[in-house]
Structure 1
Amino acid sequence: MSLARTLSDGNLTAEVDGDKLTLTTTDGDRVALTKEKAAPLAGTKWAITSPDTDGKAHLTFDEKTGLVNGSLGCNKVRAEATVRDGSITLGTASTTRMMCDTSLMNTEKTLLGLFDGTVKYRVDHRTLVLTSENGERVNASAAE
Structure 2
Amino acid sequence: MIGTAVLAPVLLGGCSKAVAIAKGQQPVVAGTLEGGPWLVEDLNGGGVIDDARVDLTFDPGDHGTGIISGRSGCNRYSGAWRQDGAKVTLGPVTSTMMACAPALMEMERKFLGALEAVRTVTYDGTGAAMLKAPDGRIIKFRRTTP
Shorter-normalised TM range: 0.5 to 0.7
Aligned to 1:64: 61
- The one-letter amino acid paired with 2:107 is T
Measured in 2, the distance between the counterparts of 1:73 and 1:53 equals 10
Unaligned 5+ runs, structure 1: 1-18, 21-31
The question of whether the paired residues in 2 share the 8 Å contact of 1:46 and 1:141 is answered with: yes
SS in 1 for 2:35: coil
The question of whether the paired residues in 1 share the 8 Å contact of 2:118 and 2:131 is answered with: no
Aligned to 2:103: 103
**1:116 Cα deviation after fit:** 4.1
Who wins on radius of gyration, i.e. which is larger?
A: 1
Aligned to 1:12: none
- The one-letter amino acid paired with 2:112 is L
Aligned to 2:134: 133
The question of whether the paired residues in 1 share the 8 Å contact of 2:52 and 2:74 is answered with: no
- CA distance 1:123–1:64, change in 2 (3 Å): farther
> Which has more helix, going by share of residues?
2
- TM-score between both structures, scaled by the size of structure 2: 0.66
- CA distance 1:94–1:38, change in 2 (3 Å): same
Aligned to 2:48: 51
The question of whether the paired residues in 2 share the 8 Å contact of 1:42 and 1:60 is answered with: yes
Aligned length: 116
CA RMSD of aligned residues (A): 2.6
The question of whether the paired residues in 1 share the 8 Å contact of 2:57 and 2:69 is answered with: yes
Calculate percent identity across the aligned residue pairs: 24
Measured in 1, the distance between the counterparts of 2:113 and 2:144 equals 23
Aligned to 1:113: 113
Aligned to 1:82: 82
- CA distance 1:133–1:53, change in 2 (3 Å): farther
SS in 1 for 2:92: coil
Relative contact order: is structure 1 or structure 2 higher (C-alpha 8 Å, sep ≥ 6)? 2
Within-5 A mapping of 1:8-19: none
91-100 or 56-65: bigger deviation? 56-65
Measured in 1, the distance between the counterparts of 2:50 and 2:84 equals 28
The question of whether the paired residues in 2 share the 8 Å contact of 1:47 and 1:59 is answered with: yes
- CA distance 1:75–1:126, change in 2 (3 Å): same
